[in-house]
């Protein structure tokens, strides 16, 4: 933390105005590839939160009455503006998050798809009716917004995750206070700027930057009706419990440890390609990243090919379009990952590729080369914890049952994938894999905006997931009308 110097301190958005935080304390926003300081983010206070929530509460009075098609029209305009700015948004993601331009471009696309989904609100928000539940009596169900919703987001998808939240919440008639990751706050402001340009009235979307105080301010605020959270497991659990204890509706998406099962019949070339880009894309900092491969049977060909292709990966600044492996978010995070590599060695896993050797190639940035451990067993720390970096564990299994058992033993259940063309194995995997999003010959089985993003076990706390019909149900409450017509 530092006290403000010459570098630009970004602002909060409250009631349609870009305002300075009440706090003078700031954090640097370095480019992970160079550690050059891009700007500073204020560590806002509870007072800032109170102002934002008050603005959202005032805006709610009119916004919830705006006809649904009219609300949706703002999102058509927003969709156009985001599409026009696609490349610029992607570059901003590269600068503050560090991921490769192609991935950032893809992320912008996934974010725009959420806005696309939100434009369907007039259909999505429809209720249900039944004529004749009894003699001369009919029943109708209508959906209404909840009120002011708080959203708390992580650094790894600075565009997609905020867009999982505020478009759907707002199109359903809620108003919103967003607390973006303090490590990637620039893109959030760009999203808010374009939303204002699309015609969002003041106070409908507010942005308060900062860290724990802002989060706690939202969790405890009596005028916040619901919390959408995405981030690491301990924080997700904390947010879920604390907000639920205050009577709020909560969805808290959490950490992951995604297993990919490589069956003996798998197409080796394709499996290697999918595993590599799933594991090392975004430097392993994806909640749907592959972090453990279960090799079924003796498959030295797969392991040799994987290692060789890992040696060939281009490492560098994500702005260079040829690069696949980019830096991790901060130097401290790299240190934590190195701690896991040391632990893997100490616990007896076989380090067959050590990415620490590439650290010196780009000394200014937070780089770490592809790291692969073989003969990892399920009780080792590197098999259990979410490392969130370019580190892959290979586990050996004698058959599919044993592979499925490894998935079952994991406390996380975000995603899992199988590489095979065997119909029986595919069906068994689909029925028995203990995770919410499965891939069949797919490296990153992340769902589209019209389906729920559906983690299980410690990868999710709550009931209704983000996106799809779950998203609509999360951001609305139902009212039942029962009418007698016998007069
Ligand atoms: P993080 O938990 O450090 O931060 C997430 C948010 O919580 C940030 O806005 C941060 O300011 C806030 N926060 C952090 N510590 C806090 C504390 N002690 N008290 C209150 N608030 C706190 O997560 P991150 O490192 O930004 O993001 C990576 C994590 O997010 C990974 O674990 C990843 O798996 C997870 N993630 C999950 C999904 C999913 O869909 N399940 C999607 C994206 C990311």
pLDDT for 312 equals 96
Does the annotation flag 155 for ligand binding? yes
Written out in words, the top-level CATH class of the domain with range 258-410+415-440 is alpha beta
| C-alpha span between 193 and 92 (Å, rounded) | 14
Residue nearest to atom 30 of ligand 1 (CA): 231
12-255+455-481 CATH fold? Aldehyde Dehydrogenase; Chain A, domain 1 (3.40.605)
Share of the chain above pLDDT 90, in %: 97
| Span from the CA of 254 to the centroid of ligand 1 (angstroms) | 7
Which ligand 1 atom is the nearest neighbour of the CA of 460? 41
**Mean pLDDT, residues 192-213 taken together:** 98
Report CA(171)–ligand 1 centroid distance (Å). Answer: 25
Q: What is the mean pLDDT of residues 244-254?
A: 98
Please report the pLDDT score of residue 202 as a whole number: 98
The confidence band for 3, taking pLDDT boundaries of 50, 70 and 90, is: very low
Which protein residue has the closest C-alpha to ligand 1 atom 35? 231
Give the residue numbers marked as catalytic.
287
- CA atoms of 65 and 249, how far apart (whole Å): 22
**Distance of CA 256 from the midpoint of ligand 1 (Å):** 12
Mutate to test the pocket of ligand 1, among 99, 154, 387 (most ligand atoms within 8 A of CB): 154
Cβ–Cβ < 8 Å for 222, 248: no
Ligand 1 midpoint to CA 135 (Å):
53
Mean pLDDT on 302-315:
97
pLDDT of 1 higher than 60: no
Rounded to the nearest angstrom, the distance between the alpha carbon of 257 and the centre of ligand 1 is 15
Is the pLDDT at 184 greater than 80, yes or no?
A: yes
How many angstroms is it from 230 CA to the middle of ligand 1? Answer: 6
User: 210 C-alpha to center of ligand 1: Å?
Assistant: 13
Residue with CA closest to ligand 1 atom 19: 212
Q: What is the pLDDT of residue 7?
A: 81
DSSP 3-state of 231: coil
Confidence band of 247 (pLDDT split at 50, 70, 90): very high
Question: Which residue, judged by its Cα, is nearest atom 36 of ligand 1?
Answer: 231
The Cα–Cα gap between 466 and 472 comes to: 9
137 has a pLDDT exceeding 80: yes
Pocket of ligand 1 (CB under 6 A): 152-157, 161, 179, 181-182, 211-212, 215, 230-232, 235, 253-256, 287, 386, 388, 414, 453, 455, 459
Atom of ligand 1 nearest to the CA of 453: 40
Could you give the maximum distance between any two Cα atoms of the chain, in Å? 84
Q: What is the DSSP string of 417-436?
A: EEE---HHHHHHHHHH--SS
Q: Ligand 1: distance of its center to the CA of 455 in Å? A: 15
Q: Determine if residue 241 is labeled as part of a ligand binding site.
A: no
Indicate the top mutation candidate among 232, 236, 416, 451 to test ligand 1's pocket, ranked by most ligand atoms within 8 A of CB: 232
Q: What is the mean pLDDT of residues 326-353?
A: 98
| Domain spans in the chain, listed from the N-terminal domain onward | 12-255+455-481, 258-410+415-440
Q: What is the pLDDT of residue 2?
A: 45
Residue 353, annotated as binding a ligand: no
**Pocket test residue of 44, 151, 235 for ligand 1, highest count of atoms within 8 A of CB:** 235
Which is the closest atom of ligand 1 to the Cα of 253?
41
Number of Cβ atoms within 10 Å of the Cβ of 339:
12
pTM of the model: 0.98
Query: What distances in angstroms separate CA 24 from CA 186, 213, 261, one per listed residue?
Result: 18, 14, 50
Q: Please state, in angstroms and rounded to a whole number, the distance separating the CA atoms of residues 445 and 441.
A: 9
Share of the chain above pLDDT 70, in %: 99
183 is in an annotated binding site: yes
Residues 6+ apart with CB under 8 A from 253: 229, 230, 231, 236, 287, 453, 455, 459, 460, 465, 466
Residues 6+ apart with CB under 8 A from 439: 260, 415, 416, 417, 418, 445
* Total residue count of the chain as it appears in this document: 487
Mean local confidence (pLDDT), 325-338: 98
Task: Give the mean model confidence (pLDDT) for residues 259-276.
Answer: 98
**179 marked among binding-site residues:** yes
What does the pLDDT read at residue 6?
Answer: 62
Chain centroid offset of residue 390 CA: 18
Mutate to test the pocket of ligand 1, among 93, 107, 231 (most ligand atoms within 8 A of CB): 231
Residue nearest to atom 39 of ligand 1 (CA): 253
Kindly state the average pLDDT of the residues 145-173: 98
pLDDT tens by residue, 7-39: 899 999 999 999 999 999 999 999 999 999 999
């Amino acid at each position: 933390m530092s006290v403000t110097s010459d570098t630009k301190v970004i602002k909060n958005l409250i009631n349609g105005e870009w305002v300075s935080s009440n706090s003078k304390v700031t954090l640097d926003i370095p480019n992970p590839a160079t550690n050059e300081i891009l700007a500073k983010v204020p560590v806002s206070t509870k007072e800032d939160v109170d102002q934002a929530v008050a603005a959202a509460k005032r805006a709610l009075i009119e916004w919830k009455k705006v006809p649904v098609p009219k609300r949706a029209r703002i999102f058509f305009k927003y969709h156009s503006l985001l599409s026009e700015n696609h490349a610029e948004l992607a570059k901003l993601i590269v600068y503050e998050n560090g991921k490769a331009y192609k991935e950032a471009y893809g992320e912008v696309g996934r974010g725009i798809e959420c806005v696309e989904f939100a434009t369907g609100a007039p259909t999505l928000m429809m209720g249900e009716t039944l004529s004749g539940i009894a003699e001369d009596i009919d029943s109708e169900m209508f959906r209404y917004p909840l009120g002011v919703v708080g959203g708390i987001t992580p650094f790894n998808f600075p565009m997609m995750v905020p867009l999982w939240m505020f478009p759907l919440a707002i199109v359903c008639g809620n108003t919103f206070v967003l607390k973006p990751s303090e490590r990637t706050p620039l893109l959030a402001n760009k999203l808010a700027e374009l939303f204002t340009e699309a015609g969002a009235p003041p106070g409908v979307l507010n942005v308060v930057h900062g860290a724990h105080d802002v989060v706690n301010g939202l969790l405890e605020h009596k005028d916040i009706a619901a919390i959408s959270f995405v981030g690491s497991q301990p924080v997700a659990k904390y947010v879920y419990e604390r907000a639920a204890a205050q009577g709020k509706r909560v969805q808290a998406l959490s950490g992951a440890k995604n297993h990919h099962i490589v069956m003996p019949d798998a197409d080796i070339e394709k499996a290697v390609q999918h595993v590599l880009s799933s594991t090392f894309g975004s430097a392993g900092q994806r909640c749907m990243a592959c972090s453990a491969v279960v090799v079924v049977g003796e498959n030295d060909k797969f392991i040799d090919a994987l290692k060789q292709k890992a040696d060939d990966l281009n490492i560098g600044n994500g702005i260079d379009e040829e690069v696949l492996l980019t830096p991790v978010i901060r130097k401290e995070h790299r240190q934590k990952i190195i701690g896991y590599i040391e632990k893997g060695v100490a616990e007896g896993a076989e380090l067959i590729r050590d990415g620490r050797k590439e650290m010196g190639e780009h000394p200014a940035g937070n780089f770490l080369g592809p790291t692969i451990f073989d003969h990892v067993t399920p009780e080792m720390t590197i098999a259990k914890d979410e490392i969130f970096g370019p580190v892959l564990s290979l586990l050996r299994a004698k058959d599919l049952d044993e592979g499925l058992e490894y998935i079952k033993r994991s406390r996380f259940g975000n995603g899992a994938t199988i590489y095979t063309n065997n119909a029986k194995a595919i069906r068994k995997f689909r029925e028995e894999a203990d995770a919410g999003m499965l891939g069949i010959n797919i490296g990153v089985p992340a769902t589209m905006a019209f389906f729920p993003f559906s983690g299980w076990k410690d990868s999710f706390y709550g009931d209704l997931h983000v996106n799809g019909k779950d998203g609509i149900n999360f951001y609305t409450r139902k009212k039942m009308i029962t009418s007698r017509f016998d007069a």
